[in-house]
Amino acid sequence: MPPALVMRHVLIVEDDFEFADLLTEVLNHDNCSSEIATNGLEALDRFRTGTYDAVICDLMMPRLDGESLFRQVERDFPYLTDKFIFITGQTSHAAGRTSFIYPTGNTLLTKPFDIEDFRQALRELFSRTASL
């Protein structure tokens, strides 16, 4: 009998609706359910009521950006801090954020990225957090 597949629940924090929908399709194909928050404030509301195995978080968003969201998560939901994959569309922005992202131990992907790179980052996250 093959092993049962575990359904993972992922929050996508992304203000680009088309890109968020693309990530949702990839996640659905990879046995993950997902929800979308369009900014960091919406994500904080979701964290208060939901449980997530991963958080895909854009760095540049209105109302509350990715770094500010992560800092709030460190204070209010520390059990989520190792479940982030950060994404950004600006290479120069990514270079400036490495001093923030590197110490978190989380992955940063720069748009446009290969879907296989996204899948690999997600597999690594699930593997890392499953052993905790």
Q: Which domains does the chain show, CATH number per domain?
A: 8-130 (3.40.50.2300)
pLDDT recorded at residue 56: 98
Q: Is the bond into 112 cis (omega within 30 degrees of 0)?
A: yes
Q: What is the pLDDT of residues 84-96, one digit of tens each?
A: 999 988 765 555 5
Instruction: Give the mean pLDDT of the chain.
Output: 89
Q: What is the pLDDT of residues 51-60, one digit of tens each?
A: 999 999 999 9
Dist CA 4 CA 112 (whole Å): 33
pLDDT recorded at residue 23: 97
Q: What is the pLDDT of residues 20-56, one digit of tens each?
A: 999 999 999 999 999 999 999 999 999 999 999 999 9
pLDDT recorded at residue 130: 76
Start-to-end CA distance of the chain, whole Å, equals 27
User: 112: closest CA among 18, 27, 28, 9?
Assistant: 18
